[in-house]
Structure 1
Amino acid sequence: MEVTGILTAIIIGLIIGALGRLVVPGKQNIPIWLTLVIGVVAAIIGTFLAAALGVDDTRGVDWIELALQVGLAAVGVALVAGTRGRR
């Protein structure tokens, strides 16, 4: 993977994290940096999952891959917000 690919993955991951946080209802008591880290991880896992399902390379926008990434980010944000809220 090239440096530009890594930087692109990080930028896309930051956007995915923000979208994942918007999908989760209610207030999440987690810092924004943690949301962004969750987004980067969700973007990477979502890309690998889309590749495993064979939907990673389609014509135009990869909507299924994007939905997987946002869904994973939403689950990650909900899990982390739930565990941090119990402290």
Structure 2
Amino acid sequence: MPHGIIGWLLIGLVAGVLGKLIMPGKDPGGVIVTILLGIAGALLAFYLTPMLGLEVRDSTWQAYAAATAGSVVLLALYRLIMVRRA
């Protein structure tokens, strides 16, 4: 069970790795940026899930799923932005 921000940061590390597995390919920032995007995706999930009416703080698998979804969304946005810049 994630407990506060620290728990979501740790889940974000795993979500970043899972996001990279779901969306393989070359990223401009490499693995470190992908893990940071996973942490950002987890924090995004931490703040957005209550707004969507979802309570994922009581279930670890739901927290991992939400954090991984946030990571994949941010990774996709990151790739779109970086492709347009290049």
State if a TM-score over 0.5 links the two structures.
yes
Partner of 2:50: 51
Equivalences for residues 11-50 of structure 1 within 5 A: 11-24=10-23, 26-29=24-27, 30-50=29-49
Q: Equivalent pairs: percent with the same residue?
A: 24
Which 5+ residue runs of structure 2 have no aligned equivalent? none
CA gap 1:70/1:60 in 2 versus in 1, 3 angstroms: closer
TM-score (norm 2): 0.69
Partner of 1:10: 9
Select between 8-17 and 53-62 the one with higher mean Cα deviation.
53-62
State the 1:54 CA deviation. Answer: 2.9
State the 1:21 CA deviation. Answer: 1.5
- Say how many residue pairs are matched: 82
**Runs of 4+ more than 4 Å apart:** 57-60
RMSD of aligned residue pairs (Cα, Å)? 2.6
SS at match of 2:65: helix
Task: Mark the structure with the bigger radius of gyration.
Answer: 1
Which 5+ residue runs of structure 1 have no aligned equivalent? none
State the 1:27 CA deviation. Answer: 1.1
Contact 1:55–1:62 (CA under 8 A) maintained in structure 2:
no
Tell me, in whole angstroms, the C-alpha distance in 2 between the residues paired with 1:58 and 1:11: 14
